[in-house]
Amino acid sequence: MAKSYCRGCGAEIIWVKTTAGKSMPCDPRLIPFRAVAGGKERAVTMDGKVISCELRPMRGGVTDFGYVPHFATCPQARKFSKRK
């Protein structure tokens, strides 16, 4: 995992290699999550799996730890969207 800074907001990010072979920018802090099929939030595990989840598990407990993709927290995320 390589550390760098977001070109949009300047926050520190890390690049996590996903199981699909892509590098995904993520916030550098590990967070607990609960895997939820069809969940609206995403976490990237340390081994690169992108998981549908609940980032603040209220019930059911924590199932793993991972990183939040930075585009979910970056105030400038739309600037980098490939969709026009």
pLDDT at 66 over 80: yes
The tokens for 54 are 């609940």
Residue 36's CB is within 10 A of a number of other CB atoms, namely: 16
* Of 23 and 57, the one with more pLDDT: 23
Residues of the chain with pLDDT > 90, as a percent, come to: 71
- pLDDT at residue number 5: 96
Global pTM reads: 0.84
For the chain, how far is it from start to end, CA to CA, in angstroms?
A: 30
- pLDDT at residue number 38: 92
Domain count within the chain = 1
Structure-token match 């199932």, residue found: 63
Structural domain containing residue 8: 2-80
